[in-house]
Amino acid sequence: MLTFNACTLEARVVDITTLDVDAIVNAANTSLLGGGGVDGAIHRAAGKDLLHECETLGGCATGDAKLTRGYRLPASHVIHAVGPVWRGGAHGETDLLASCYRRSLELAHDARCKSIAFPAISCGIYRFPADDAVRIALATVLDTLPRTPQIEQVVFACFDDAMFARYEGELKRRHAPPSKPV
């Protein structure tokens, strides 16, 4: 766990649909009409009313996010973020992924959420290299939090131990005191 200003950041091996936080982030696609992976799991757990609200949103651009209610989920809100498909790294993937984390925190802050949970956006079906994605996620969240002071808790929900180890490693690395100048 890492504390930054008044916010705690932690990684957990958990199904994000079970988390009782103010907002969970969905790794959606530009249609916002559901899909596989965590998107499918969130829609199954939230029920049809989530799809009905998504149908009113007119889709979402890659790198952006849109907020809905959580319906049957324990979470009050779902923030549907659209990560980039990995196409080798020269198509703006890094900036688009960072933008997902930034926009999600901004939307959560505007909706007065105190706690938010992220999946590893783009790291499944969209094939973003996981080590890079985790570094981008952490760096962007830490960079954005000073402008979203409403947020007190950030959870990185990992579906497996390998992803958890990546987040733990990155959280520890950022927690380490700076080395002494030589």
Active site residues: 39
Per CB under 6 A, the list member of 46, 67, 136, 163 interacting with ligand AR6 is 163
Smallest gap from residue 82 Cβ to ligand AR6 (A)? 8
For residues 103 and 99, give the distance between their C-alpha atoms in angstroms, rounded to a whole number. Answer: 6
The distance between the two most distant Cα atoms of the chain, rounded to a whole number of Å, is 60
Q: Is residue 104 within the footprint of ligand AR6 (CB under 6 A)?
A: no
User: Whose Cβ is closer to ligand AR6: residue 145's or residue 167's?
Assistant: 167
The number of beta carbons lying within 10 Å of the beta carbon of residue 91 is: 12
Amino acid at 84: P
User: Whose Cβ is closer to ligand AR6: residue 123's or residue 145's?
Assistant: 123
Which stretch in 67-75, 123-131, 135-143, 169-177 sits in contact with ligand AR6 by CB under 6 A? 123-131
User: Whose Cβ is closer to ligand AR6: residue 129's or residue 149's?
Assistant: 129
**3-class DSSP assignment, residue 24:** strand
Where in 3-22 is the site for ligand AR6 (CB under 6 A)? 15-17
For residues 76 and 93, give the distance between their C-alpha atoms in angstroms, rounded to a whole number. Answer: 29
Which stretch in 47-55, 101-109, 117-125, 173-181 sits in contact with ligand AR6 by CB under 6 A? 117-125
Contact 156, 170 (CB under 8 A): no
User: Whose Cβ is closer to ligand AR6: residue 130's or residue 139's?
Assistant: 130
What phi and psi values does residue 25 have, to the nearest 5 degrees?
-95, 140
For residues 142 and 117, give the distance between their C-alpha atoms in angstroms, rounded to a whole number. Answer: 14
The number of beta carbons lying within 10 Å of the beta carbon of residue 143 is: 13
Where in 33-72 is the site for ligand AR6 (CB under 6 A)? 35-39, 41
Q: Is residue 124 within the footprint of ligand AR6 (CB under 6 A)?
A: yes
Smallest gap from residue 77 Cβ to ligand AR6 (A)? 16
Q: Is residue 125 within the footprint of ligand AR6 (CB under 6 A)?
A: yes
Amino acid at 62: T
For residues 73 and 64, give the distance between their C-alpha atoms in angstroms, rounded to a whole number. Answer: 22
What are the residues binding ligand AR6 (CB under 6 A)?
Answer: 15-17, 27-29, 35-39, 41, 83, 119-126, 157, 159, 163
